[in-house]
Structure 1
Amino acid sequence: MIAIARILARRVVLLVPLMLGIVLFVFLVMRFSDVDPASAFFQGANPTPRQLHDFRQQNGLLDPLPVRYVHFVGDLLHGDLGISALTRAPVVEQVTTALPLTLQLTFLGLGIAVVLALTGGVTAAIYRDRLPDQLVRVVSLTGVAAPGFWLALLMIQYLAVDRGWFPTGGYINPADSPSGWLRTMTLPAFALSLPVAAQLTRIVRTAVVEELDKDYVRTAIGSGLPPRVVVGRNVLRNALINPLTVLGLRVGYLLGGAVVIETIFSLPGMGKLMIDAVQNGDPAVVQGVVLTTATGFVVVNLVIDILYLLVNPRLRDAAR
């Protein structure tokens, strides 16, 4: 545990310059964009040049960029993401309202992807070059080639419109109706997760096949251990390193893909918040959503790093 704590502390320290770099990148992109925060704040009100100048002066928009960046970082450290030009409400309130739904969708999709990938990949590896393996490979290849938005439209047409098994969109809070929440989230989660599950399935299959060909597996089975015990206790643990690497990278896809999926299924999450902010010219909200999403991606990858250490003790020794 001491080794894990030491390595975790090292990872957290390395996150500080990474987060500062992300904040700097978002800051510069937003400051050099064509959207003027002052004009956005007064949109539809026909402000005078004097009003625009006073707004820029009061909000530090006339300060040099380094000074504005320091103030920007200071505001972020205090949990201040700015004020929405459209609603005049703090951006952090809107993000706090929309974020739980996006996290529900992302982690539900992640769970589905992991279950499908492990089931399909291990099955294909055990029955390699036989019918189950061929079927899994065909299905996974099809899933890799199919974009999530296309799958979402197909699901809406055949499972929601034609058969009425699921709603075409909308959201029900799980506190109000768990079954209603599950019905509204099933199609979006599957549409989001299937491309990731297909890619992970191929990687899991390859990793498990490589482990099954190693000498220790043949020795363990030859000594009388049941194959399912060898696969579950040893093979999977050693084979999950590469899939975990890809999984950490694909979480970014899940978070980004949620923007499109939420729009298709009319889910009031971060995706809809982002689209509305872009369409209405609300730079503070766009900035807040991007920073929140980037922070979530960094945190998830930190969790993946911890999982590396738990899955493979040799990584702990190498990182000391």
Structure 2
Amino acid sequence: MITILRMLVRRILLLVPMMLGIVLFVFLVMQLSDMDPAAAYYKGANPTQEQLHAFREENGLLDPLPVRYVHFVGDLLHGDMGISVLTKSPVLDQVTTAMPLTIQLTLLGLGIAIVLALLLGVTAALYRDRLADQVIRVVSLTGVAAPGFWLALLMIQYLAVETGWFPTGGYVNPADSFTGWLESLTLPAFALSLPIAAQLTRIVRTAVVEELDKDYVRTAIGGGLPPVVVVGRNVLRNALINPLTVLGLRVGYLLGGAVVTETIFSLPGMGKLMIDAVQNGDPAVVQGVVITTAVCFVFVNLVIDILYLLVNPRLRSAS
């Protein structure tokens, strides 16, 4: 327990310079972009140069770059992500409104990816080099190669438009209708998770095959233990350590893929919020969405590191 706490403190301390670097990178990219908050504020109003200059001066856009960065970091530390120049509302309010949907979509997609990867990966390992393994290999390679947006469009065409089994888009709050919520997120979650499930399937299959070839498995089965017990109790526990670390990196793909998926299915989440902000030239919202997504990604990887430490006694002893 002391080792875990020590590792946790060390990871958290490392997060401080990492987050400062992320904030600096996002800030510089937005400052060097073509987005002009003043032009977005007066969009469609044909402002004069004096009005644009007055807006920039009032909002500190004419201050030196280091001064703007210090003010930006100071505001973030106080929970202030700025004000949207289009809606005139705090960016934090927009992020907190959109974030729950993205979290729901990501978690549902992650759950689908894990279930499919375990089912297909373990099956392919147990029947390696046989028909089942060959079929799963072709399916997984196809899933890896297929773009997520293409899968989303196919699902909309065949499972929503032609059959009517699912809605083509939109979101239903689970408090209003759990069935409607599940129907509205099923296709987006599958479109988001299938490429990840295909990648994890190959990793799980390789890890389980390597574990099945070890001496302790042959000894346990030779000693009379049922293969199901050996695989379920020992093989999976040891084989899933490496896929667990890969899973943490894939969560970042799920968060990033939500941008396209939410846009295709018209889901009012973080992805659609950022796309709309980019199209309308609202840099404060873009900064808020990117930084929030980066914080979530870093936090998820911290949780994965802790889980990896818990399930790997050898790493705990080495630490």
Q: Hey, what does 2:186 align to over in structure 1?
A: 186
Residue pair 1:167, 1:184 contacting (<8 A) in 2 also: yes
**1:155 pairs with 2:155:** yes
Whether contact under 8 Å (2:168, 2:265) holds in the other structure is yes
> What CA distance in whole angstroms lies between the structure 2 residues aligned with 1:51 and 1:145?
51
* Aligned-pair identity (%): 83
For structure 1, the residue ranges without an aligned partner over 5 or more in a row are none
1:72-83 correspondence to structure 2 within 5 Å: 72-83=72-83
Please report how far the alpha carbon of residue 50 of structure 1 lies from its aligned counterpart in structure 2 after TM superposition.
Answer: 3.1
1:76-225 correspondence to structure 2 within 5 Å? 76-225=76-225
Aligned residue in 1 for 2:278? 278
**Mapped partners of 2:53, 2:264: distance in 1:** 40
Q: CA deviation at 1:288?
A: 0.9
Equivalent pair of 2:221/2:230 in contact (CA under 8 Å):
yes
Give structure 1 regions of 4+ aligned residues with deviation exceeding 4 angstroms: none
Q: Alignment partner of 2:278: what SS?
A: helix
1:291 is aligned with what amino acid?
I
Residues matched between the structures, number: 319
Deviates more, 1:1-10 or 1:106-115: 1-10
Does the 8 Å contact 1:152/1:187 carry over to 2?
A: yes
Q: Distance in 1 between matches of 2:118 and 2:309?
A: 20
- 1: CA distance, partners of 2:146 / 2:84: 36
SS in 2 for 1:252: helix
Query: Which deviations, in whole Å up to 9, do the C-alpha atoms of 1:50-102 show, x marking residues without a partner?
Result: 33333223322222222211111111111111111110001111111111111
Q: Is the 8 A contact 1:160 1:168 kept in 2?
A: yes
CA RMSD after TM alignment: 1.2
Partner of 1:253: 253
Q: Which moved more, 1:233-242 or 1:194-203?
A: 233-242
* 2:59 maps to amino acid: N
Q: Following TM superposition, by how much is the alpha carbon of 1:228 offset from its aligned partner in structure 2, in angstroms? A: 1.6
- SS of 2:67's partner is helix
Question: Per the alignment, in what secondary structure is the counterpart of residue 35 of structure 2?
Answer: coil
- Distance, in Å, in 1 between the alignment partners of 2:45 and 2:89 is 18
**Deviation of 1:232 (Å):** 1.7
Alpha-carbon offset, residue 261 of structure 1: 0.8
Residue segments in structure 2 that go unaligned for 5+ positions in a row? none
Give secondary structure in 1 for the equivalent of 2:310. helix
**TM value normalised by structure 1:** 0.97
Aligned residue type for 1:104: Q
Deviations along 1:19-76, one digit per CA (max 9) or x if unpaired, are 0000000010011111122222222233333333332233222222222111111111
The answer to whether the aligner puts 1:3 opposite 2:7 as a matched pair is no
Deviations 1:168-218 (A, max 9, x none): 111100010001000111010001000100010000000000011011111
Which residue is equivalent to 1:30?
A: 30
CA distance in structure 2 between the aligned counterparts of 1:13 and 1:54, rounded to whole angstroms: 42
Q: Do the aligned residues in 1 keep the contact of 2:108 with 2:189 (CA within 8 Å)? A: yes
Could you tell me how far apart the structure 1 residues matched to 2:214 and 2:91 are?
54
AA in 2 matched with 1:94: Q
The worse-fitting range, judged by mean Cα deviation, of 31-40 and 183-192 is: 31-40
Distance across 1 between alignment mates of 2:241 and 2:67: 44
Which residue of structure 1 lines up, in the alignment, with residue 55 of structure 2? 55
* SS class of match (1:170): coil
Residue type at the aligned position of 2:40: A
Normalising by the residue count of structure 2, what TM-score does the alignment of the two structures yield?
0.97
1:19 aligned partner: 19
Which whole-Å CA distance do the structure 2 matches of 1:229 and 1:63 have between them?
67
